[in-house]
A and B are shown apart, each in its own frame.
Chain A
Amino acid sequence: ETGVTQTPRHLVMGMTNKKSLKCEQHLGHNAMYWYKQSAKKPLELMFVYSLEERVENNSVPSRFSPECPNSSHLFLHLHTLQPEDSALYLCASSQGRGSNYGYTFGSGTRLTVV
């Protein structure tokens, strides 16, 4: 399998549930990202990991907890979410964290909080 793979593709969860989103890249990249895409809003950068170390956290609420156990895997742990957290969550990776590298995106996880 190649590219960036995200699972699950769709997730419906209650506000008291705990779930995790998974991202896996098979490109040998060393930087990974979580973006949130809501309707009518620009893509929001949530977290940046470079060489498995979190280098950026853009004021994301603590109910979102990222984990990067190695350079190929990235998780987003979710708990006690709110309905406004319903969105498409996109994972991306790049070779190097410099902005001259384009990102490769996964297909996203469509999250619905009920």
Chain B
Amino acid sequence: AQSVTQPDIHITVSEGASLELRCNYSYGATPYLFWYVQSPGQGLQLLLKYFSGDTLVQGIKGFEAEFKRSQSSFNLRKPSVHWSDAAEYFCAVGFTGKLIFGQGTTLQVKP
């Protein structure tokens, strides 16, 4: 069955440090891939998406993600984290007309 795994439930990084959030998926073909961010009390905001082509995609707020077919991964990265990046991040896979979400990774940013 199709699934999305975010191995890290909670990550803490220092402000200014680099960030990588992991996402692995299980799907027979190349899926459509998304990263969303959710601030407390808010809905989900789309950070970036991958459909095809260049495997490194740029998103909003300085985020990027790289699709690696061989590893079935779509990891999210940011070179320098800001305190305002503290939020919950969701990876999602699109197939057969719907999105399946991972369990989310909570990012805490230390001053």
Contact = CB atoms under 8 A, between A and B. Distances in A.
Interface of A: 4, 6, 33, 40-43, 45, 48, 55-56, 90, 92, 97-108, 110
Number of contact residues on B: which range applies? 20 to 34
A43 B4 CA distance: 11
Interface stretch (B13-21, B70-78, B98-106): B98-106
Contact of A107 (B32, B34, B42, B101): B42
Q: Which secondary structure dominates where chain B touches chain A?
A: strand
Nearest first, the 5 closest Cβ-Cβ pairs linking A and B are A99-B94, A105-B43, A105-B44, A43-B101, A107-B43
B101 A90 contact: no
B84 interface: no
B45 interface: yes
Contacts of B90: 43
A114 B42 CA distance: 23
Given A43-B90, A48-B98, A103-B99, A108 B34 contact: no
